[in-house]
Amino acid sequence: MSYHDPVLLSETVAGLAIKPDGIYVDVTFGGGGHSRHLLLQLGSKGRLIAFDQDQDALDNRIDDPRFLLIHQNFRYLKRFLKFHGITEVDGIMGDFGVSSHQFDEGDRGFSTRFDGALDMRMNQEQGLTAAQILNEYSAEQLTVLFREYGELRNGAKLSRVIEAARKEKMIKTTEELKSIVRPFMPRNKEHKIMAQIFQAIRLEVNQELAVLKEFLLQTKEVIKPSGRLSLISYHSLEDRLVKRFMRHGLFEGMPEKDVFGRAFMPFKPVGKLIVPSAQEIEKNNRARSAKLRIAQRTDEV
């Protein structure tokens, strides 16, 4: 199974400040690149637990007694750690978004470059597909989707175009979708807008922002004091959630303060935002939009 080079490999693992006998979690195992790099820094008593809901990722599991791969969505982090007798860990890393492998598999429907079924499921066993969204959501629902998840100003127009097209026949493939919306795009922005449309649909199919929120809230309970979070995001919607959570422990508003004016902050950011070097982007184009943020669990309880 061909997977591209992991993004910000050394920076992501270094952000965890690895303890050789510690317990760590990789919530987006994928091709296993980050996990393999982390295992090199663990001693014989260290442990690494990885999560991935994609069936294809199971082919990359690592043959190492210190390693465990859980075939589940990381929204169930706390539940499955507890099932395996783990209540606290020393650090968690994650590389969100679609893997290079998923983008390169045309029949999965993630990429604007290939023709394939409108699927976009990261977990092939779940029910909702991109085709169902495009053919069954109302124009109003699609407008909200394109506006909130695709950050598209012309979401209403695109929704009406899709609604009219599907009355003629069901929209089943990525190429059919592209041919429907392409005539209504400025030529110099076609690629960018198409990517935003695909992003909006994919986020809805996989409930990615809701999953990210559920996961982040669990890290407050799972990571030990002084433990680390090291997370890579690829678009502003994800990065905004990660940034606010690491700063305030919330996704909206500001934390409440006690009578002394002190606010409880479950995490504190470590260092500044990290982005890939020009050399890494040249080697791996997927890295161009990556943003790595690192935070440390505070001692407050």
Spatial distance between the Cα atoms of 230 and 292, rounded to a whole number of angstroms: 7
Q: Are residues 213 and 91 in the same domain?
A: yes
* 3 inside domain: no
Spatial distance between the Cα atoms of 43 and 149, rounded to a whole number of angstroms: 42
Question: In the chain, which ranges are E strands?
Answer: 23-26, 47-51, 67-70, 89-95, 223-233, 267-269, 291-297
Query: How remote is the C-alpha of 120 from its chain's centroid?
Result: 14
* 4 inside domain: no
**Measuring CA to CA, which residue among 151, 148, 117 is closest to residue 134?**
117
Q: Are residues 90 and 213 in the same domain?
A: yes
Q: Are residues 67 and 183 in the same domain?
A: no
* Domain termination site, one of 206, 238, 258: 206
* 194 inside domain: yes
Per-residue confidence (pLDDT) for residue 1, from 0 to 100: 46
Residuewise pLDDT in 10s, the chain (301 residues) = 445 679 999 999 999 999 999 999 999 999 999 999 999 999 999 999 999 998 888 999 999 999 999 999 999 999 999 999 999 999 999 999 775 555 555 567 678 778 889 999 988 888 899 999 999 999 999 999 999 999 999 999 999 999 999 999 999 999 999 999 999 888 888 999 999 999 999 999 999 999 999 999 999 999 999 999 999 999 999 999 999 999 999 998 777 777 777 788 899 999 999 999 999 999 988 899 999 999 999 986 4
Query: Residue 149 is part of which domain span?
Result: 109-206
**Strand-by-strand arrangement of the 23-26 sheet:** 67-70, 47-51, 23-26, 89-95, 223-233, 291-297, 267-269
What are the tokens at 92? 């968690």
Q: Are residues 115 and 199 in the same domain?
A: yes
**Measuring CA to CA, which residue among 118, 113, 185 is closest to residue 155?**
185
Spatial distance between the Cα atoms of 160 and 181, rounded to a whole number of angstroms: 10
Q: Are residues 18 and 151 in the same domain?
A: no
Total domain count, the chain? 2
Q: Are residues 124 and 194 in the same domain?
A: yes
Q: Are residues 137 and 84 in the same domain?
A: no
* Domain termination site, one of 167, 182, 206: 206
Say which CATH number the domain at 123 has: 1.10.150.170
Q: Which residues pair with 223 in a beta bridge?
A: 89
* 95 inside domain: yes
Say which CATH number the domain at 251 has: 3.40.50.150
Spatial distance between the Cα atoms of 39 and 47, rounded to a whole number of angstroms: 8
Q: Are residues 84 and 229 in the same domain?
A: yes
Q: Which residues pair with 68 in a beta bridge?
A: 49
* 38 inside domain: yes
Per-residue confidence (pLDDT) for residue 252, from 0 to 100: 87
Cα separations (Å) of 102 from 28, 66, 69, 158, 228? Answer: 13, 27, 19, 26, 28
Q: Are residues 124 and 249 in the same domain?
A: no
Per-residue confidence (pLDDT) for residue 110, from 0 to 100: 74
Q: Are residues 113 and 201 in the same domain?
A: yes
**6 DSSP assignment:** P
* Domain termination site, one of 206, 237, 271: 206
Per-residue confidence (pLDDT) for residue 264, from 0 to 100: 84
What are the tokens at 244? 């606010």
Largest Cα–Cα distance of the chain, in whole Å?
A: 65
Spatial distance between the Cα atoms of 19 and 91, rounded to a whole number of angstroms: 10
Long-range contacts, stretch 273-279, CB < 8 angstroms, 24+ apart: 274/8, 274/11, 274/15, 276/7, 276/8
Q: Are residues 64 and 81 in the same domain?
A: yes
